[in-house]
Structure 1
Amino acid sequence: MTTVFIGGSITIRHLDAKVQDRIMNIVHQKFDVIVGDADGADASIQQFLADQRYQHVTVFCTGNVPRNNIGQWAIHQVKSYHSPGSRAYFTAKDLAMAEAADSGLMIWDAKSTGTLSNVIELLSRKKYSLAFVDKLKSFHAIKSVEALEQLLDYMPSPDRRKADVKIGLSEKVGVLRSREQQLSLLAERPAIIVHH
């Protein structure tokens, strides 16, 4: 069964109609949905799924009790050894979700480093994500570093600088780019051997 990680920025409290349509596609296909327990987009996603009475949902949380579990779904508790409430504490849950998912649907405010990190974590695991840039009301398929860099063009410069400090954004993109280049070189190598 396909598992979709649906997440988004804490500043987003209302799901755009286009996002609702996309989630309805997931519901109609009866995919498993994993979602976080934060306020903002997570809570809005949960509310929408609860309104559809959708049952194939698991709420990931760090600690014993989720902050939000609107549909009273199954809970997946993630252990974190970082101090409770810290960014690293909640990041453990996001990493577990990226690991468990086959793909992602991310609703991004073009600023949030948490949502951006999820896109990066999925991409680093060779998993596809669809990012909805809320202010543009448009979807962007992230299947390559090039697509990720195009997505980052929507991020205001001050927020980009903050992301470099908070999550080492430029470094992470650089690592992904060099890995992608190495893989493409390896893919080309057998062809070169065949021609000689």
Structure 2
Amino acid sequence: MTIVMISGSRSIKNLPKEAIASIDKIIELSFEIIIGDAPGVDALIQQYLKLKGYDKVTVYYAMFNGLGCPRNSNDYPTVGIAGNYVDRDTQLCTIANYGLAIWDGRSKGTRDNIARVKCIKVIAVIV
């Protein structure tokens, strides 16, 4: 099973055309998608996938001290990861075969995810 982790910067308010083309290809190939629950790219991707009717999506969230809950999931299945956002992202990167990062060039979390995933496509966005 091929699993793609999609991550990106919270500052991004719209998906660039190149990102949409990549997501459409992922849908065409019926890959599983794992994603976080943050505002910005995570929320935009979830909304786009829901609009497309794509259901091979799981949303991961940080549980912190067991009290965390998903900030947004668009009714996709969710998985809580013990720890903080870094712990969540690290876990996602170990699960994924491939990654797609939509990055503003500043987000440290997205930068770290780019370094963690062996095979990743990075789409740079000027914000």
TM over 0.5: yes
Q: Which runs of 5+ in 1 are unaligned?
A: 81-88, 137-196
Deviations 1:134-179 (A, max 9, x none): 129xxxxxxxxxxxxxxxxxxxxxxxxxxxxxxxxxxxxxxxxxxx
Q: Which amino acid aligns with 2:121?
A: L
Q: Which runs of 5+ in 2 are unaligned?
A: none
Q: How does 1:38-49 map to 2 (within 5 A)?
A: 38-49=38-49
Equivalent residue, structure 2, for 1:130: 121
Report the number of matched residues. Answer: 123
Equivalent residue, structure 2, for 1:75: 78
Deviations 1:99-132 (A, max 9, x none): 100010000001111100001111xxxx210000
User: What secondary structure does 1:38 align onto?
Assistant: coil
Relative to the length of structure 2, the TM-score reads 0.93
- Whose helix fraction is larger, Structure 1's or Structure 2's? 1
Deviations 1:8-36 (A, max 9, x none): 00000210111101100000100000000
Distance in 1 of aligned mates of 2:82 and 2:107? 23
- Whose strand fraction is larger, Structure 1's or Structure 2's? 2
Instruction: State the identity as a percent.
Output: 33
Report which of the two structures shows the higher radius of gyration computed on alpha carbons. Answer: 1
Equivalent residue, structure 1, for 2:103: 108
Relative to the length of structure 1, the TM-score reads 0.61
Distance in 1 of aligned mates of 2:119 and 2:34? 15
User: Which contiguous aligned blocks of 4+ residues in structure 1 show a shift greater than 4 angstroms?
Assistant: none
Q: How does 1:89-108 map to 2 (within 5 A)?
A: 89-108=84-103
Cα distance, 1:73 vs structure 2: 1.2
Distance in 1 of aligned mates of 2:126 and 2:11? 12
